[in-house]
Chains A and B, each alone.
Chain A
Amino acid sequence: QQQVKQSPQSLIVQKGGISIINCAYENTAFDYFPWYQQFPGKGPALLIAIRPDVSEKKEGRFTISFNKSAKQFSLHIMDSQPGDSATYFCAAGGSQGNLIFGKGTKLSVKP
């Protein structure tokens, strides 16, 4: 019940395209769903986050779509750029403050 399943494992997108990464969770006690971005040699850093009381959150080119009934959420990167090439992790958290991470998606944006 503590797992967060993320797909795909890797993704190649052309510059200007849309990158879509999907996650699913099981534990309905989770109430915080962030996405983290990690560049090689660095620690993960918060990109965008959503709570289950809204179905979508947009920040610039990044959008989270959330489907509470399906227990799924996704990250959309519009107009993908080579600088977006990184590993993306979805996560889910509850009242304790800890986060359970998906296994990550390595995104490569080709110029």
Chain B
Amino acid sequence: DAGVIQSPRHEVTEMGQEVTLRCKPISGHNSLFWYRQTMMRGLELLIYFNNNVPIDDSGMPEDRFSAKMPNASFSTLKIQPSEPRDSAVYFCASSSVPNSGNTIYFGEGSWLTVV
């Protein structure tokens, strides 16, 4: 299995620019999660989807952030406009069913730097 695939792996952008992060979950998984990791706040859950439907987006920091999952094999996290405080590692993760006890598999992350 290819695992969770994220792109880009690294992104450096200027403040005010739009950033789009992409994710391909593991085939057959129907839950998808977006996490953000920083030194100060650790791993924060931003949003998660079950069967392509957003279930909880309470972790999305503000309206500048949006996420979509148009089909079972693709999701995007968009930041518009980006700010320096958005600099972080963004992880996409997926699991097989929306039940507790199922392993969540993480991608290798998208390292975002906003200057």
Contact = CB atoms under 8 A, between A and B. Distances in A.
A interacts with B:
yes
Contacts of A20: none
Contacts of A30: 100
Interface stretch (B11-19, B40-48, B61-69, B79-87): B40-48
A49 B100 CA distance: 11
B27 to A, nearest CB: 18
A100 B45 contact: yes
Contacts of A34: 103
Interface residues of A, number: 26
B31 A97 contact: yes
A44 B4 CA distance: 12
Contact of A97 (B42, B91, B99, B105): B99
A96 B56 contact: yes
Contacts of B42: 89, 101-104
Contact of B108 (A36, A43, A51, A98): A43
Contacts of B109: 42-43
Contacts of A94: 100
A95 interface: yes
B43 A101 contact: yes
B106 A44 contact: yes
10 contacts: A31-B100, A43-B4, A43-B91, A46-B103, A94-B100, A96-B56, A97-B98, A98-B48, A100-B45, A101-B43
> What 10 A-B pairs are tightest by C-beta distance, nearest first?
A43-B106, A103-B42, A97-B98, A101-B43, A32-B100, A32-B101, A93-B100, A46-B103, A44-B106, A98-B48
